[in-house]
């Protein structure tokens, strides 16, 4: 559900409980229509593509058309975890904004506040996330800990193979 009339977020769709592998060309084609309208409540219309490296080839080419003729009162954010996966023509039309890596303490606090996991699990997520808030939250809420703890116990000899499976 869209929360603000001047904001459009494009991300991989979830259908039948499964997240699609890419952002489709149909989703990308929403951008020109969105930016053709004047802002209704804000100074600008803002679109966020999260993550731009999830665009399929046709979607990336459709995005190029928007980037070649940027909207007058529009701002487009392309979130990417792998800039090298973007078409060179897209990268050349964008300004790069880098954000600092979060400290483990800050990540731990975020994970504990957002997920309510125990301190040890929050520390573990922070350590595994490589400074990424999104990765830390995904690790804490994705059932990764149970598998990781099971693997650790098996490697350390606390449980046998049959119990681990």
Residue 142: what pLDDT?
A: 74
Residue 46: what pLDDT?
A: 96
Mean pLDDT across the stretch 107-116? Answer: 94
So where are the chain's domains? Answer: 7-91, 104-164
pLDDT digits (tens, 9 = 90+) for 9-42: 999 998 898 889 999 999 999 999 999 999 999 9
d(CA 106, CA 97): 21
Residues 6+ apart with CB under 8 A from 113: none
Cβ atoms of 110 and 65 closer than 8 Å: no
In the predicted model, what is the mean pLDDT of the chain? 88
DSSP 8-state secondary structure symbol assigned to residue 79: E
* pLDDT at 52 > cutoff 70: yes
Distances 130 to 7, 103, 107, 114, 115 between C-alpha atoms, Å: 30, 9, 10, 18, 18
Higher pLDDT, 154 or 101: 101
pLDDT-based confidence at 135, cuts 50/70/90?
confident
What's the fold here for domain 7-91?
Rossmann fold (3.40.50)
Mean pLDDT across the stretch 108-125? Answer: 92
Residue 145: what pLDDT?
A: 62
> Exposed/middle/buried for 126, CB within 10 Å: 0-12, 13-18, 19+?
buried
pTM for the predicted model, two decimal places = 0.70
Residue 92: what pLDDT?
A: 95
Rounded (10°) angle between helices 119-128 and 144-155: 90
Residue 49: what pLDDT?
A: 96
d(CA 86, CA 45): 23
* pLDDT at 165 > cutoff 60: no
């Amino acid at each position: 559900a869209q929360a603000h009339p001047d904001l459009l977020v494009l991300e991989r769709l979830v259908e039948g409980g499964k997240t699609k592998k890419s952002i489709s060309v149909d989703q990308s084609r929403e951008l020109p229509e969105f930016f053709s309208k004047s802002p209704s409540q804000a100074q600008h219309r803002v679109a966020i593509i999260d993550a731009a490296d999830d665009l399929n080839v046709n979607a990336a080419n459709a995005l190029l058309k928007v980037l070649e003729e940027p909207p007058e009162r529009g701002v487009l954010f392309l979130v990417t975890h792998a800039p090298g996966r973007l078409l060179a023509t897209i990268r050349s039309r964008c300004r790069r904004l880098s954000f600092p890596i979060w400290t483990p303490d800050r990540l731990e606090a975020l994970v504990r506040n957002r997920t309510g996991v125990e301190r040890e699990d929050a520390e573990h997520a922070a350590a595994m996330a490589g400074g990424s808030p999104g990765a830390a939250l995904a690790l804490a809420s994705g059932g990764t800990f149970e598998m990781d703890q099971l693997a650790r116990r098996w490697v350390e000899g606390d449980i046998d193979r049959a119990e681990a499976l």
